[in-house]
Amino acid sequence: MGLLKGLKDSISRATDRLFSDEEPKRIGIYGPPNAGKTTLANRIARDWTGDAIGTESHIPHETRRARRKENVEIERNGKTVTIDIVDTPGVTTKVDYEEFTDEMEKDDAVRRSREATEGVAEAMHWLREDVDGVIYVLDSAEDPITQVNTMLIGIIESRDLPVLIFANKIDLDDSSIKRIEDAFPQHQTVPLSAKEGDNMDEVYDNIAEYFG
């Protein structure tokens, strides 16, 4: 019986691998608030499907629920990779309603902070349970060495998920790609400007290579 069970398990694992290659991989777009995650998700979705995923804003925590765009086919160098993009809320250790009071009334600010906190929990659930790979977006004009970034990269590594780090906002004067490369030298860093569309060819080459 033990031999038969082992054979069945082996066949099952082989079958799972065979068919999993045909299914779109769920790729979570993660990072701190205002790093440009939704801008990047919209850029990818528009380039390959013609549709956007979510609303972009300069106000932190515009994305407060994970949003998914399915069956995005990216063609590079004769190869096609199909992914589901999951645009997740920005992860932070604390959401204070006073962050938003310059932009909106207090009641709206309190509601936004509560929704953003719930969004952080949802993003963490996706990371621990429901993604096959991660695009980690950082603002290249900001210091990448933070508690949130260190924690999330650690979780990604503990799950042995393929991850690409995108150094976004290279169109800004204070941008430093090297600062991000030095912070996480164990991972591939790709520079880009999701807003301006700069270096998107390299972005798509790396997505096809890492997640194909």
| Triad 28, 30, 31: Cα angle to 5° | 175
Q: CA–CA separation, 158 vs 131, rounded Å?
A: 13
Which domains does the chain carry?
23-211 (3.40.50.300)
3-state secondary structure of 54: coil
Quickly state the pLDDT bin for 94 (edges 50, 70, 90).
low
Q: Is the pLDDT of residue 168 over 90?
A: yes
Q: Which helix (H) or strand (E) holds 136?
A: strand 133-139
User: pTM of the full predicted structure?
Assistant: 0.75
Out of 76-85, 108-117, 203-212, pick the least confident.
Answer: 108-117
Q: Nearest CA to 57 among 93, 98, 97, 90?
A: 90
Mean pLDDT along residues 77-92: 83
